[in-house]
Amino acid sequence: MKYVTCHCRSHCAKWDPQTHSFMGGKSVSRSTRDNHGRDDKRLHIESEDVAIPVASAPEEVGGWLLLAQQEVAAMAALPSSSLNNPLVFINDPRATTLGEYALHMDPRQPNTGIHALQTHKRSNTAFLHSELRVAHLLSKASLLAESQEVNALISSLEDYLHQLDREKELHWSQQRNRNTVDRNGRPVINTDVYFETVIPPDPVQQVAYTLSAIMQNFHFMSRKALRLQIAGNRDLLLSSGALRSVVDSLAKDPRTATKSLHIDPVLRTYVSCLTCHTVYPHDPNNKNPTHCISRETPHSSTCNQPLWKESLVGGRPRIEPRLTYQHQDFKHWLGRLLSRKDVEELLDSYPAGLNDTRPTSDIWLADVFQQLKDHEGRPFLSPSLTEGRLVFGLSVDSFEPNAAKPGQTPTSATGIWIICYNFPPHLRYLPENIYLVGIIPGPTKPDTTHINPYIQLVVDEFKPFWNPGVSFSRTRCSPNGRHYLALLIPLICDMLAARQIAGKPAAMAHNLCTICDIDHDDMDILDPSKWPLKDRRQVLFFANLWKNARCTAHQSQIFDAYGQRWSPLFDLPYWDPIRFIVIDTMHTLDINLLKGHLRDMFRIDLKHPGGDGASHTAIVNDKMTIPKTYVAKLPACNKLIADNPQDLLYKLLEFHRAILYVVCVENTILGDTHTEVIGTRWILARNIVRWVTVTTDEPLNMWLSDSDDEDLPPNEIGPMPVEGVIRVETPDPGQMVDEILGAENVEPSNPSLTQDTKLHSSIRKILTYLASDASGPSREHVSQRSTIDVLRRICHLIDIDPSSVPSIGRNVKLPLAVTDETVIPHLASLLPERDAKRTSVLGIDIMKEIWQDMERTMLPTWVSRVPRDWTSLTDLNASQTRMLCTVHLPITLIRMWHASEGRMREILANFMDLVTAVITANMRTTSKEQIATYDFHITRYMQQAHQLYPDVSIKPIHHAALHVGRMLEDFGPVHSHSSPYYERYINFLHRMNTNRKPGGQLESTMMMTSARNANLSALLADDTALRNKVSGIVDILAKFSREDTRCLARFGEFEPSSEIKLGLEVELTRLDDCYYQKLCSQLSATVLVDRNPSFYDEILLHGISYGCAGTSKIRNSPVVFHPAATTVDADTPILAGVIERVFQYTTPLFTGIFLGIRSFQPVDSALDPYRQYGFAGGFLCFRNVNDYHVIPPPAIVSHCALTSMGAETGQELVHALPLNRVCDVSRLSLFVANLSTCI
């Protein structure tokens, strides 16, 4: 914090009687200096007051009247109160029996009666000064002789005094109703304050203050620059001949301008612990507790982290919080929202029911929302005129608030956002409709459960909205108030944040999935029908166990056993920890799957030519491997099962999952409907308990007798004795490793064995054991890492007879674990030749072709353009990665590899499966057919990728991608539950001008500026009169918004009901012959049209620009369209072309808007290699074989990417790839179905 010397007369400077002037000053913060300056201004205004006798000369009275009017105007420009800094009454509004606020009967006796304010409170200073001063001026003006000027002044004073009294009434009502309930026991929120006239009445002030607020909160101009701008505005007004009184009425401080518009949010400040992030309400007058008193569990010690610190301000010590967090009050945010024009009607206009005959266009028509119930078990989404019902979604993400440059220490802040799904999609993500809960301060993000205190604040806000609901004293459509219910449903975050908030372990943990109980070791099982699904009751049961654990050790045991912690979201009775956690497609598909395929499978090499990316080394997932530290516990597990205690299930959960897996495999213990052992530790333990229950005593005892270790003392568990067939004198271990595993030219005796990865893995492990010293792994450890079948096969290959070994029991592996050094060369010969270095697929030759095709591709202006010289995936964001993989790479790779045979064709088909799945998942509608298409292609992609790239491991993100189909079914199309909106919000936060100070100051600045930005946007959208006064500013803002597609742009392009808009008119003399003849042939013979319509450079459909070739809008001219002007049906063909004319007839006899399009003739499907890949591949056309069409605007399907492909059989070709993600949703599925058959 910067400090300056304040020389104000009201607080800091002292009167020197010798010099008859004020001397000295104090070192204070800049904000304190500005407050003192306002106090000086009030004192100066008051000191200019001169007693005017009743019989004074008329010119003296006129001068006094003018000064009084100026004084009232100056006071009106200075805000007197704020909801964030409420007035302090002498009497407690909540404890006073008088319920209604009584207006003053005598304005000449202010601040009296039951509603008097405390005079020593600083929050009352400005208000009391204004009230007392106006009452004083009113009493003096009443003594003057009656005249028109005097009456006007008295009227102004009375109006202003009434406004102050009304402001006090709002504060009284707000404080009285803060914790009140209605007769039905429902909380009541007073929202009258949001219906008051908040902006200054003077139009000059309105324009000046609005411009200042826009520059401060939209473009983040510094305070010094704003002061300069305000001074320039004053000089401009003076030079234009404005009255001095008008100029003097403008505030010089930009903060005064912002406050006068009343766009500040209602925030609650908390003191946050630096260690555990427990939050405490901030009271500047109460520093208790001084240290954090939080405990993780009842038996844990207190955190005891200091909450306050001492700093010097003006040379004097001051106690302030070490870390603060500002939380925006949800009820007040919602109250402000419900006071806005037309908003309440929008919130009530959600669909009433599910229509199975059409594709799902929004989350409202998806399964989860349609199945929501209220606290009485009735459908939640039942429109009611008397009760409002809202559904919200939660998002959390961490970001670098300082945008640290390389070499700087990175910091982290965490934003919490909530969106209202009652808004239609084109309004849902506007800043004025997003509820920014708060920004958790850094410098590091909260770890594991430390984020819970902040989420608990959100949950506490929503709990009363479930039952009994919350009432608002007044809304835009209900002047007498309305009752509301609300739900917080989807959790929309990236995988890391979602798992942390929901109390899940890390993605690489054994419990890797939020939907099913598959284990990390089972990720190679790609068939969803084999996955055991999670049970909501079990998740909540273990979460409660964890929450109520007595100590952290017990919590760790529970978490290790089931992989679940407590989450504050579980306090919401309706919240489902399985269905409500959304798998975000942007992070899953765009950032991870697409980038992962390029990085791990294709690979980029800018120095060498591309290869086929083949690898002969496979990653083997040996599920029979037990970690070294747990091998000795297997006998104890067997003994526990033999004893079969009552708490067997929970005792089994104490063992490592690998031990339970071995027990299940060797005894064929399977779950219901399962054909192989699969599942987390909980699933395997439960299956063992069921198996023990249904197994007869005799077979069970036989199995236990084979597995017991009779040589061990009854209370001791140790490693099993090593008594193999042959003892081995092991040579130097390092030499063995070098000679055996490092051999370069060992020829396999059986070439077929080179494909047996499990066999090779077991052989390598045995050789590693033989190369180890006495401290290395035991023979038992080696045996646990191989199956019986593999060990028997090794025995056969090295001519050892395993027939004497019993065929039952676990001990069969010990004698099969060969330990004779004489067989080492023989074992080594069974290994394949060491793999050559794998080649990269995207070598320099392929990259050059990609770059060249990108140069020849014309894309519309709304897509995210990929840098044409991209060389690294780190240079690309999510949208650029999707554009690269779904547009540019298919164009080039299909052209280069479609005629290849063998592996290159296979990796192309595999990549196109991924592209098809990503495009399908990102459509703006969903249907059962689309979901089935996605599931088919993503599953086939996973299966073939595992075979084509055996050296690339299957990651949790691959498993998550297999659940995306279910997400589309549960929540509808991805635009309604994806995360780009908060990524754009983070980009918006990065552009802010902050002081970069730690301890919550930086985050508080972001919080306040964001909320002001949202409230100012709402004010400009709702107040027509103000918008008309600043129409030029609004027009420029709209232009900037259209240009900035990466930062909180308005999504009008996705609005289904947007009207058709025409661009700029262009000068053309007449309609071309080809288009005129087409138009005449399509119209009735009775309709006469001339050849001189109005021509335009573009047309906007649903907010998307379609431009004309030959104009500046040429990039938006390539389209895919239906050539028939009749109704679109299943047999309507689809063509590609270029818009050449946009024209309109507005004659009395004929009106209409048309597009003239020059189409390209498609290449025959037998000769087009792109057609085999469906809509993901696009299609080829002859550029110079054209036809001409005149179509109405609705016949356009979408833009397309147009790429020149050179000549084929002497004719130039062009490739068209439809970009149909934003086309009309009613024809989206029709387009997908007909693309490969109708061209």
> What pLDDT was estimated at residue 53?
44
Residue 859 lies in a domain: yes
Query: Within a 10 A sphere around the Cβ of 1159, how many other Cβ atoms?
Result: 19
> What pLDDT was estimated at residue 813?
54
Render the burial of 60-70: b for 16+ CB within 10 Å, e for the rest. ebeebbebbbb
Q: In the predicted model, is pLDDT for residue 450 greater than 90?
A: yes
CA atoms within 13 A on the CB side of 960: 26
> What pLDDT was estimated at residue 991?
85
SS3 330: helix
Q: What mean pLDDT comes out for the span 117-130?
A: 80
Select the more confidently predicted residue: 249 or 523: 523
Burial of 390 from C-beta contacts in 10 A (0-12 / 13-18 / 19+):
buried
Query: Within a 10 A sphere around the Cβ of 1024, how many other Cβ atoms?
Result: 10
Residues 713 and 748 in one domain: no
Task: Give the confidence band of 396 by pLDDT, cuts at 50, 70, 90.
Answer: very high
Task: Give the confidence band of 839 by pLDDT, cuts at 50, 70, 90.
Answer: confident
Residue matched to tokens 């980029």: 604
Residues 1134 and 1196 in one domain: yes
Select the more confidently predicted residue: 376 or 62: 376
Give CA–CA dist 1059/15, Å, rounded. 69
In whole angstroms, how large is the CA radius of gyration of the chain?
37
State pLDDT tens for residues 1181-1237. Answer: 998 888 899 999 988 988 999 999 877 656 889 999 998 764 433 343 344 344 433
Residues 970, 975, 981, CA angle at the centre, nearest 5°? 120
Q: In the predicted model, is pLDDT for residue 824 greater than 70?
A: no
Residue matched to tokens 């009687």: 17
Is 55 in contact with 229 (CB distance < 8 Å)?
no
Residue 385 DSSP class = S
Q: In 3D, which of 997, 995, 1000, 989 has the Cα closest to residue 270?
A: 1000
State pLDDT tens for residues 932-961. Answer: 999 999 999 999 998 899 888 889 999 999
β-strand pairing of 267-272 with 324-328 = antiparallel
Burial of 16 from C-beta contacts in 10 A (0-12 / 13-18 / 19+):
exposed
* DSSP H or E run through 267: strand 267-272
Residue 896 lies in a domain: yes
Select the more confidently predicted residue: 829 or 310: 310
Is 83 in contact with 193 (CB distance < 8 Å)?
yes
Residues 64, 68, 73, CA angle at the centre, nearest 5°? 150
Lowest-confidence pick of 803-807, 980-984, 1134-1138: 803-807
Runs of H (alpha helix) within 177-249: 203-217, 223-239, 244-248
Tokens of 535: 């049970």
State pLDDT tens for residues 524-560. Answer: 899 998 999 999 999 999 999 999 999 999 999 899 8
Residues 527 and 652 in one domain: yes
Residue matched to tokens 């406050």: 259
Residue 403 lies in a domain: no
- Ranges 649-653, 904-908, 947-951, 1078-1082, most confident: 904-908
Q: In the predicted model, is pLDDT for residue 1001 greater than 60?
A: yes
Tokens of 920: 């399908």
* DSSP H or E run through 1080: helix 1073-1082
Residues 1071 and 971 in one domain: no
State pLDDT tens for residues 452-507. Answer: 999 999 999 999 999 989 999 889 998 888 999 999 999 999 989 999 999 999 88
Residues 1117, 1118, 1120, CA angle at the centre, nearest 5°? 125
* DSSP H or E run through 876: none
Residues 865 and 970 in one domain: yes
> What pLDDT was estimated at residue 710?
35
Question: End of a domain among 976, 998, 1014?
Answer: 976
Give CA–CA dist 768/778, Å, rounded. 11
CA 548 to chain centre: 31
Residues 804, 776, 951, CA angle at the centre, nearest 5°? 85
Give CA–CA dist 1073/1075, Å, rounded. 5
State pLDDT tens for residues 876-914. Answer: 888 889 999 999 999 999 999 988 888 999 999 999 999
Q: In the predicted model, is pLDDT for residue 509 greater than 90?
A: no
Largest CA distance in the chain: 132
State pLDDT tens for residues 312-322. Answer: 766 678 888 99
Q: In the predicted model, is pLDDT for residue 1157 greater than 90?
A: yes
Residues 653 and 695 in one domain: yes
Residue 41 lies in a domain: no
Residue 84 lies in a domain: yes
Select the more confidently predicted residue: 603 or 1058: 603
Using left for φ > 0, alpha for ψ between -120 and 50, and beta otherwise, residue 125 falls in alpha
Q: How many domains does the chain have?
A: 5
- The residues, any chain, with a CB within 8 Å of residue 440's CB and separated by 6 or more, are 272, 277, 325, 413, 414, 415, 416, 446, 451, 454, 1003
β-strand pairing of 14-16 with 21-23 = antiparallel
Tokens of 392: 């919200």
> What pLDDT was estimated at residue 1183?
87
Residues 357, 358, 364, CA angle at the centre, nearest 5°? 110
Q: What mean pLDDT comes out for the span 104-113?
A: 63
Q: In the predicted model, is pLDDT for residue 776 greater than 60?
A: no
Question: End of a domain among 655, 684, 719?
Answer: 719
State pLDDT tens for residues 675-712. Answer: 899 999 999 999 999 998 876 444 444 334 333 333 33
Q: What are phi and psi of 478, to 5 degrees?
A: -130, 90
Q: Report the percentage of the chain scoring pLDDT > 70.
A: 77
Residues 60 and 99 in one domain: yes
Taking each helix axis from N to C end, the angle separating 203-217 and 223-239, rounded to the nearest 10 degrees, works out to: 150
Residue 428 lies in a domain: no
β-strand pairing of 1196-1208 with 857-858 = antiparallel
Query: 1228-1231, long-range: CB within 8 Å, 24+ apart, which pairs?
Result: 1228/359, 1228/923, 1228/924, 1228/925, 1229/359, 1229/925, 1229/927, 1229/929, 1229/930, 1230/1128, 1230/1130, 1230/1132, 1231/1120, 1231/1134, 1231/1175, 1231/1197, 1231/1198
Is 382 in contact with 388 (CB distance < 8 Å)?
no
Q: In the predicted model, is pLDDT for residue 630 greater than 90?
A: no
Tokens of 699: 């077979």
Residues 1222 and 1105 in one domain: yes
**What is the pLDDT of the chain when averaged over all its residues?**
80
Dihedral Cα 925, 931, 934, 940, nearest 10 deg: 180
Question: End of a domain among 958, 976, 994?
Answer: 976
> What pLDDT was estimated at residue 1234?
47
Tokens of 314: 């003006």
State pLDDT tens for residues 454-468. Answer: 999 999 999 999 998
Task: Give the confidence band of 871 by pLDDT, cuts at 50, 70, 90.
Answer: confident
Residue 416 lies in a domain: no
Peptide bond into 806 cis (omega under 30): no
Give CA–CA dist 1158/1183, Å, rounded. 10
Q: In the predicted model, is pLDDT for residue 1141 greater than 90?
A: yes
Select the more confidently predicted residue: 38 or 740: 38
Residues 111 and 147 in one domain: yes
Residue 290 DSSP class = S
> What pLDDT was estimated at residue 324?
93
Residues 603 and 638 in one domain: no
Is 473 in contact with 1035 (CB distance < 8 Å)?
no
Residue 397 lies in a domain: no
> What pLDDT was estimated at residue 796?
66
Residues 749 and 810 in one domain: yes
> What pLDDT was estimated at residue 296?
92
Q: In the predicted model, is pLDDT for residue 140 greater than 60?
A: yes
Q: In 3D, which of 795, 779, 782 has the Cα closest to residue 827?
A: 795
Select the more confidently predicted residue: 604 or 257: 604
What is the extent of the structural domain holding 1108? 1061-1234
Q: What mean pLDDT comes out for the span 213-223?
A: 88
Q: What mean pLDDT comes out for the span 596-614?
A: 89
Give CA–CA dist 1159/1167, Å, rounded. 19
* Residue 6, amino acid: C
Residues 758 and 649 in one domain: no
Q: Report the percentage of the chain scoring pLDDT > 90.
A: 33
Taking the chain, what is the end-to-end CA distance rounded to the nearest angstrom? Answer: 68
Give CA–CA dist 798/789, Å, rounded. 15
Q: In the predicted model, is pLDDT for residue 779 greater than 70?
A: no
> What pLDDT was estimated at residue 816?
55
Residue 82 DSSP class = B
